[in-house]
Each structure stands twice: as structure tokens, then as C-alpha cells.
Chains A and B, each alone.
Chain A
Amino acid sequence: MAKEIKQIAIYGKGGIGKSTTTSNLSAALSDMGYKVMQFGCDPKADSTNTLRDGSYIPTVLELLRDKGKFNAHEAIFTGYNGIYCVEAGGPAPGVGCAGRGIITAVQLLKQQKIFEELDLDYVIYDVLGDVVCGGFAVPIREGIAQHVFTVSSSDFMAIYAANNLFKGIQKYSNSGGALLGGVIANSVAPDSTYQKAIIDDFAARTDTQVMQYIPRSITVTQSELNGKTTIEAQPDSAQAKVYRQLAERVGGHTESKTPNPLSLQDLRAWAAEWSDQILAIESGDVRGEAMAI
């Protein structure tokens, strides 16, 4: 019997650190001995850059457009530690339909049974921003990914995007779609009194878990400026350790769940509640048990 390929989709608001997190996750899983493919689902086609010394690779859709016929092998490039790198690509900004592009690219690789041929352990989809249309929901739908993780900071817009993603997952959950593994909390300042609490509270309310807290770190910036992941550039750093922990947790993760997204009204009320609390914290207002001191 063929081994089961663990397929994971990483979503989150644009600019939140999805590609950074995904590339480090891929690198860490690869270091653990797994055969990994990272599949960038963003027209910018820069998901796998840091796995390949900052270089861009031809995308699935470019190859399809230029040659008319698509051979999956031509779209697969190897990066750090033999990680297979694929970029879906897409249209130039403002034209065409990027969502349809994602659908086509994913289907092309699936049709050619390339994942099985490469005997992969992991396929990790790094998907553009919010689930703005059906195309970006493809990795969630039946037969593609099994587990979805969302990268989010404690910013409201990042959480709003995560909540939207949860709605997408909930929609497809009855038809065999991917379920939610959890939240990867990114850019969490270690000395912040509320960032971690906000993400924890959101995870609790939406019936999910936090997989890892990733601090904002200059190490990541330095590594990326060198075109590398932190795992490759600074394998002994504290930040690399955080990513390795994440990889271990993702590796050990087996049961994903249907999330319980907040309605827009509830989400706004929740955000307003936190806004008041943060204001109180920033202005030194003492509340709750501390008031008795």
C-alpha cells in the first residue's frame, strides 16, 4: 500500500509571514528526514525563494502558457536539503483570474500524480492571503490538503483573515475538505502582555489551538536578506529552535477539527472588547484581581 502523503495548507493574511513560516517549516521537516514539497500558491511566485538562495523559478502557469503542454517535472526544482519547490504563479496584477490559476496549477500536478512519483512525505501549500474566492479554497477542498494551519499575528486584520479562513474550512468540512490543525502565532513580542493573550483567546473562542508562538526576530530578517531560511542560515539560533518545535508539532499532528468561526458581528464585538483592555493596559489602568492589591 502506498504511504499516505501528509498534505498541509498554510493560510493567512498577506504579509503576515506565511512564506517565511512555511519555508522554515519545510526546511525543518526536511532536516528531520522527510521528503517535502513546498507548493507556492500565490501569483507573486516567491514562496520558495528562501529555499533556493533567493532565486525565482519558472511557474506552473508560465510553463503552461508558454508551451501549451505541461510536464510537471519542468515545474519542480530542488532547494535546500532536496526540498521540492513548485510555484503555481498567475496573472500580472489587475488582469485575469488568479483564483482559477491556483485551481489549474494544483489540478495539473495532481493529475500527473507527481506527489506519488516523488514518494513525498509532505506537501505544504503556501496560499495567498485571505480566501477571497473559490480558487484560493482549492487546497482546502476534498482530495487536496488534509490539514490547514493559519499564520496570524494579534492584529485585528490578521485575525479577521484567519476567521474568514475558518469559515471556508467550515463550509467544506461536510464534503471531505481539509480541517483546521491550528493557529501559528507569528510576530509575537515576548515582552508583550496582551499579544499572546489575544491569539489564545481567539483560538479558544473558535475552538482551535495554537501550534506555536513565533517571536519577531532579527535573525529571520538577516537570513532572508541572504536568501535563506533561518533553519539553513542560522541552524543553531533560538529562532531555528522555535521552527523545529513547530515542525515536530506539525509532524506529530494527526487530528484536525472543524473550527467554529465567529460571526462578523461577534468578531467586531470581540475586537472592541480587546481594544478596551489594551487601552487600559497601555494607560496603566488596573483591573480584575489586581484591583484588590
Chain B
Amino acid sequence: MAICDKPIERPRFSCMLGGVLATTGALPRTVPIIHGAQGCGGSLAQGILLGGYYGTGYAGSGGMPSTNISESEVIFGGEEKLREEIKGVFEVMQGDLFVVSTACMTDIIGDDAKAVVDSLRPLPKPVIFLESGGFKGNSYYGYGRLIEELFLQYIPISTKKNLKAVNLLGLVPAYDPFFRGDLAELKRILNLLGIEVNTFVTSDQTQENLLKAGEASLNIILSRVYGVEAAKTIKESHDIDYLVTDLPIGAKATENFARLIADRLEISKNVVDPLLAAEIKNYYSFIDRATDVIADTDFQNYAVVVANATQALPYARYLDNEIGWIPTHIFITDDLDEDQEAAIRSAFGEIEFETRPDLVFETDTFKIQQYIEQNTPQFLADEYYPTISPAFVLGSTIERRLAEVLKGNFLSVSYPIINRIIISKGYAGFRGGLNLLEDLIGTQLAGR
């Protein structure tokens, strides 16, 4: 459980319930039922929109049913209200799966959501529940807990494993703003290798994907910290092995990723090599033409990456390993515990950089700028020091200010993103690597 024990200035996440609701709203034909005050669903719906205007969808964001408890329920208990709400939701909402999620107040007063749901069974459709009071952790924690409960309460245990089936986990809807495009691309690549993939949260998914997730032989966690605990639980409950890796961005990282999975699933090199060769060839045919403008106009940059624990290292690796930029700083904006921080440091140590960037764990927005200003010679009044110039900031929309201070360019890649809409775009995989290059160079050309 991630416990935030200090005030954070402009945090890049919401609460546990926020992560649960964003994820529930991304599951196929799944309806969340919030047991909390009206402000919980209302403000968390807004929080979900900050992921590049990730909208309502089937029953997410602004379409989420809620018990909207009031003072009377706080004093006398809200279980009856929840019971009525569940009945009411079944009358007016169609869905294939319903997720009852409690909020802070109902957890504090001790409403027993499980007992209410159980007392109503049998229900016309599957209903799972989880205590998701926001005080228990942040939105990333909420994602992990929901995935756990999906397996524990809904996804059947299968003793017969499909050795060519995997679940792709670790990207949190909305809070990893490019999750749809990223997962779709990684699914495409794994499909090429003959691997069946359940992502749970992309638009192609159905309940069938959820229900057969127990047959998968591997859970791939695309984050060094988020979803890892869930994977451990699922290993015990469903006997599915797990692999923790980084989000691959660009040809080199994606080739490594594909080979890692292929090795794990014992897919023949003879199958993998030609498929990847074709993908790589295709990738560089696009890069090839882009190099004209890149070389002619010297679009090489020093870069500052500001992102969550899942994305920050993969972006920095891409900038250095794939396109030859120099990332000077990597700021990880999540509130991590010691073990999580250690996992990130370890992953950072595995990445080869031409010039090693400064890895900084910093949750406060203003301190990110302050850190650069106080630790970079160009801000220390000596003009003969090297400078971070030309600079490029890859961060959230609130890093626009940092880009101005560095007199550099800016691309929003991490939550919150409100300066552009994200629909199907992703930055992972081969296609994502091209997308990212297109956006990085496109940003520099935009003023022409």
C-alpha cells in the first residue's frame, strides 16, 4: 500500500478509488457502482479526464452510478442505501460485470459491502466488490488491487494453461495516458509471434478475454512497481507465472521485449527472427526518411523526463538508446516506498546510457524546477558552463512551465495531459517508437 505521509504540491495521481474507477471504466461492458459521497465519483471522473480526455466510454467517468451517501448514512450506516443502489443499477444499467467500490467515508464507518453484495445474490450478472477507500493508497495502487480482485472474485481458475497465452498488465487506464495505444501495439507484436494476449482494457476486449485470463501461462507486468503485487497474488491463486519488465519504446527495446517473451514461452527462434526482422526493417524505413530533416536541422536535444514510475525510464531509454538524445534528468513523480524506489534504481542501473542522467524521485512540481535550477551550472551565474540547451521536456502538461524556464520544447507524455487529446496513439512498440519520434520532431517543426 502506498501511503503518502507528506503534503504534495500538484500530485500526478488521485486516490485508490480513482485508479479503481478508471480501470473499471476501461473494462469491457463493466459498470462501476460507487458506494460513497457524490463528490467522490464527480471529482474522480474529472481526474480520469485528465488522462488526455479519456472520456466516459461504456459506463466510466461521468456515467458511473453512485450511492451518493449523505450525513444520515454516515451516522446510521449506508448498507441499506448500497443495497437499494445495486438493485436500482440492475434495473437501469446493462452490463456484463459490475464492480462495487467503496469510498473513504463508507470504509471509515465500516459499511460491509461484501455482506450487502452477498445478501443480494444470486444477482442477474456477476458482481465483485472491493474496499477502495481513497486513504488506502493512490490510483496506481487501486489499479493493482482491482486486478487482484478481478482474479480472486471473477476470473475462473484454470489448471489447464494455454502456453501461448499471456495477460498484459501494469498500465493504468487514464493515469498512463497512452495505455490503449501502447497495449494495442504490444498485443499486435505478440500476436505476430503467435501469442494470444488479454489486455482487459483495450477496446477490442470482451468478457471472454477476462474469463479466459486464468488460462494464460504468463502475466507480463509492464511496470517495475504497479501490478507487481497483483501478479504475486495471481501466481498463488491462479498459478500464473509473471514477468516484470519495462514498457518497450522503439525498435531496440521492442525487439528485446519480444525476444524476452518468446524465450519465456519457448517460441522457436526460427519463428521469431523473420517476424522481428520484418518489423525492424519496416521501422527503420520510416526512420530513414526522417533522418534527412533531423540531420539537416540538427534536431538533437538535451532532455528532461518527468513521468510516473512506469513510464519515466522507458522514455529516457528511448531518447538515449533509440534516437541519440541526451536525457539529463529523469524525475519520477510518484510517492514510492523504499522497495519500489529500489526496484526503479535497479532498473535504471540496467540501462546503458551514453551519459547517465540524474535520477530524481520528486513528487512536488515546483521542486522539479528548483532541483534543476539549483544543480545545473547554467543557473548558477557562470556562462562558461555547459548548458541544457537545446532542451526538450517530456512530462505532463504541468511541465510546460519547466520547458519555458529551460527555453526548450515540450511534449506531454505523462499524466495529467490536458493540452491534447489522446485517442489511439501509443508510444510503445515499433509503431509507438515512430509516433514518439514524429511528435518530438513535429513539435520542433511546429513553429515553422
Contact = CB atoms under 8 A, between A and B. Distances in A.
Contact of A100 (B74, B79, B110, B111): B74
Nearest to A135: B75
A65 B79 contact: no
Contacts of B109: 95-97, 100
B108 interface: yes
Contacts of A161: none
Nearest to A89: B75
Nearest to B79: A95
Contacts of B74: 96-97, 100
B76 interface: yes
A104 interface: yes
A96 B77 contact: yes
B77 A100 contact: no
Nearest to B110: A95
A98 B76 CA distance: 8
A91 interface: yes
A83 to B, nearest CB: 26
Contacts, number: 40
A95 B71 contact: no
A101 interface: yes
Contacts of B76: 61, 65, 90-92, 95-96, 101
Contacts of B119: none
Contact of A104 (B73, B75, B78): B75
B423 to A, nearest CB: 44
Most buried by B among A61, A65, A94, A96: A96
Interface string B106-129: 001111000000000000000000
A64 interface: yes
B71 A104 contact: yes
A98 B78 CA distance: 13
A50 to B, nearest CB: 26
Most buried by B among A90, A92, A95: A95
Interface in B33-84: 71-79
A95 B72 contact: no
Contacts of A92: 76-77
B371 to A, nearest CB: 37
A199 B111 CA distance: 40
B80 to A, nearest CB: 10
A199 B79 CA distance: 44
A100 B36 CA distance: 16
Interface residues of A, number: 14
Given A95-B110, A97-B108, A97-B109, A64 B72 contact: yes
A281 to B, nearest CB: 44
Nearest to A91: B76
Interface in A75-115: 90-92, 94-98, 100-101, 104
A267 B109 CA distance: 31
A32 to B, nearest CB: 36
Contacts of B72: 64-65
A104 B75 CA distance: 9
A95 B75 CA distance: 8
Nearest to B108: A97
A91 B111 CA distance: 12
Contacts of A97: 74-75, 108-109
Contacts of B111: 95
A101 B79 CA distance: 17
A101 B110 CA distance: 15
A144 to B, nearest CB: 18
A65 B71 CA distance: 10
Interface in B70-105: 71-79
Contacts of A94: 110
A68 to B, nearest CB: 8
B26 to A, nearest CB: 33
A95 B113 CA distance: 12
Contact of A101 (B75, B78, B108): B75
A92 to B, nearest CB: 8
B71 A91 contact: no
Nearest to A105: B75
A100 B70 CA distance: 12
A78 B75 CA distance: 26
Most buried by B among A90, A98, A100: A100
Contacts of A98: 75
B170 to A, nearest CB: 37
Nearest to B73: A96
Interface in A192-231: none
B105 to A, nearest CB: 8
Contacts of B79: 95
A61 B77 CA distance: 13
A98 B110 CA distance: 12
A95 B71 CA distance: 14
B68 to A, nearest CB: 15
A61 B75 CA distance: 8
A98 B109 CA distance: 9
A190 to B, nearest CB: 43
A15 to B, nearest CB: 23
Interface string A224-242: 0000000000000000000
B82 to A, nearest CB: 12
Contacts of B77: 91-92, 95-96
Most buried by B among A61, A97, A98: A97
Contacts of A64: 72
B432 to A, nearest CB: 48
Contacts of B78: 96
A91 B74 CA distance: 9
Given A94-B110, A96-B73, A96-B76, 17 more contacts: A64-B72, A65-B72, A65-B75, A90-B75, A91-B76, A91-B77, A92-B77, A95-B76, A95-B79, A95-B109, A95-B110, A96-B74, A97-B74, A97-B75, A97-B109, A98-B75, A104-B71
By Cβ-Cβ distance, the 6 closest A-B pairs, closest first, are A95-B77, A96-B77, A101-B75, A97-B109, A96-B76, A91-B76
Interface of A: 61, 64-65, 90-92, 94-98, 100-101, 104
23 contacts: A61-B75, A61-B76, A65-B72, A90-B75, A90-B76, A91-B76, A94-B110, A95-B76, A95-B77, A95-B79, A95-B110, A95-B111, A96-B75, A96-B76, A96-B77, A96-B78, A97-B74, A97-B108, A98-B75, A100-B75, A100-B109, A101-B76, A104-B75
